[in-house]
Amino acid sequence: MYVADSRGTPAPAEPQAAAPGTPPATAGGTHSPGRRAALAPTVLALGTVSLITDVSSEMVTAVLPLYLVAGLGLSPLGFGLLDGLYNGVSALVRLTGGHLGDRLGRHKALAGIGYGLSALCKPLLLLAHTLPAIGAVLALDRTGKGLRTAPRDALISLAAAPAERGRAFGVHRAMDTAGALIGPVLAFLILRGAADGYDAVFTVSACVAALGVLVLVLFVPGRRTTPATAAPVSLRGALGLLRVRDLRRTGLCALLLGLCTVSDAFVFLLLQRAAGIADRWFALLPLGTAAAFFLLALPLGRLADRAGRRTVFLGGHLALLAVYALLLTGAQHPVLPYAVLLLHGGFYAATDGVLMAEAAGAVPEEHRGGGLALVQTGQALARFAASLGFGAAWTLWGARPALAVAAVLLAAALAGCLWLRPAAAPQA
């Protein structure tokens, strides 16, 4: 395993973790017009890994319902229980991944294990023919996903210059989403060429996943993050992150706003009702959000570097509030679906990577993985609670009142987050 130099001095511009033989990119914190620092090769390599892995996993996701019903003749209705049950486990796994990466100083190894686990699941799908077995394989797949997320984001944040973090995360998220858009197309092309060829889809998906792991091993430098002299990273130190004021504020904001985020499934359902979208187009709605996310991730990441990450993060939730408002007006305008999907994708582009870029600035390097995992997990659990709450509100009052309440809460949370602004000016 390749080990890069550990950092000597805490310079504002971090040295690039470039492989020998590639010229180190200049990491400039200031922009002179017409000249931008090159993107760290590590970010591009991780983006490539994510793109390839997402092609692989979305191939499976796209054909899984069809495979269960048509291929295996199962009734998949009992599956929903797995989701709820697994959310808690997934949170623990994510925190573990982030913290272990810090503790061992090996984010790359942890990310590699996570990607490896998920890759291993693809051939396992060829062997699982019962609902419980398939459920177990999917749980393992998600364990891999949970394990790798924080170390991967830590690697991105460590590879990019602080002033360029928004852009780095933007590039990564755009590549990641591109994979999600390619996966289903590839899967259905295979099914078109080979009727009932689910095993071929899983085999190709396994090959693609293996390639992703290989790109990670070969092209992502495994720098040790902690200088050898530093005190070892302890769990107590990781818990001490909760005392870092800026991180606490960022996390609290993500948590508050997460509690008011209506889950995608509900947004698409409400959109279908509001705009009277035909059933045949329903399955394409998530692709609309993903396409907007893909297009906007990089521009909004750059904007976050310039205009302040908090501003863009809050602006993203403003876009979500606009989604709620549009759905509440229920205007049968032909533009409504496009506007909603564009804003919804914009919401993800302005919040997903941008939150990580913002949080990275508040966490010392030796705790980077654990700190990012803490923020991600808080947000994920809040969103899960929100979807349970929204489902209950829908039951009690019906769809529109529930959405109106969500909109009011989101507006209040946004106001609260504005009030929570850090005392120091945001670093530009």
Partner 1 sequence: MTLQRRILILFTAVLLLAGVGVSAVVRASSRAAEKDQARAGGPRVTPGEVSLAPGGGSRMVFRNMAWGPHRDELATVPADAPGGPRTASGVSCLRFHAAAGTGICLRADKGGVQESYRAVVLDAALKEVSTHPLAGIPTRARVSPGGRLAAWTVFVGGDSYAGTDFSTRTSLLDLRTGKLDASLEDFTVLKDGKEYRNADVNFWGVTFTADEKAFYATLATGGTTHLVRGDLAARTVTTLRENLECPSLSPDGTRLVFKKRVPGLPAEAPWRLYALDLASMRETPLAEERSVDDQVVWRDDRTLVYSLPGDFGADLYTLPADGSGAPVRLADSALAPAFLG
Restricting to residues 91-110, which ones interact with partner 1 according to CB under 8 A? none
Is the Cβ of residue 195 or residue 425 nearer to partner 1 in the bound state? Answer: 195
Q: Tell which residue, 183, 159, 158, 164, has the closest CA to residue 50.
A: 183
Q: Which of 24, 26, 92, 199 binds partner 1 (CB under 8 A)?
A: 199
Residue 129 backbone dihedrals phi, psi, to 5 degrees:
-120, 0
Residues 128, 205 contacting (CB under 8 angstroms): no
CB count in 10 Å sphere of residue 407: 20
Binding window for partner 1 (CB under 8 A); candidates: 103-111, 167-175, 187-195, 294-302:
187-195
Q: Which of 36, 196, 235, 335 binds partner 1 (CB under 8 A)?
A: 196
CA distance 173 to 355: 12
Closest approach, Cβ 200 to partner 1, in A, equals 4
Size of the site for partner 1 (CB under 8 A): 72
Site for partner 1 in 340-399 (CB under 8 A): 391, 394-396, 398
CA distance 204 to 81: 29
Q: Which of 12, 24, 65, 232 binds partner 1 (CB under 8 A)?
A: 65
Q: Does residue 61 interact with partner 1 by CB under 8 A?
A: yes
Q: Does residue 71 interact with partner 1 by CB under 8 A?
A: no
Residues 268, 327 contacting (CB under 8 angstroms): no
Binding window for partner 1 (CB under 8 A); candidates: 243-251, 276-284, 359-367, 369-377:
276-284
Closest approach, Cβ 303 to partner 1, in A, equals 27
Please list, residue by residue across 12-22, b when 16 or more beta carbons sit within 10 angstroms of its beta carbon and e when fewer do: eebbbbbeeee
CA distance 77 to 267: 21
Tokens of 115: 């990607």
Residues 358, 250 contacting (CB under 8 angstroms): yes
Is the Cβ of residue 284 or residue 408 nearer to partner 1 in the bound state? Answer: 284
CA distance 47 to 366: 23
Residues 249, 267 contacting (CB under 8 angstroms): no
Binding window for partner 1 (CB under 8 A); candidates: 164-172, 190-198, 246-254, 310-318:
190-198
Site for partner 1 in 133-152 (CB under 8 A): 135, 138, 141-142, 145
Amino acid symbol at 228: A
Closest approach, Cβ 414 to partner 1, in A, equals 25
Instruction: Name residues whose C-beta falls within 8 Å of residue 248's C-beta, 6 or more positions apart in sequence.
Output: 242
Residues 241, 371 contacting (CB under 8 angstroms): yes
Q: Does residue 293 interact with partner 1 by CB under 8 A?
A: no
Q: Does residue 318 interact with partner 1 by CB under 8 A?
A: no
Length of the chain: 428
Is the Cβ of residue 398 or residue 416 nearer to partner 1 in the bound state? Answer: 398
Closest approach, Cβ 169 to partner 1, in A, equals 19
Is the Cβ of residue 281 or residue 422 nearer to partner 1 in the bound state? Answer: 281
Binding window for partner 1 (CB under 8 A); candidates: 105-113, 180-188, 254-262, 328-336:
180-188
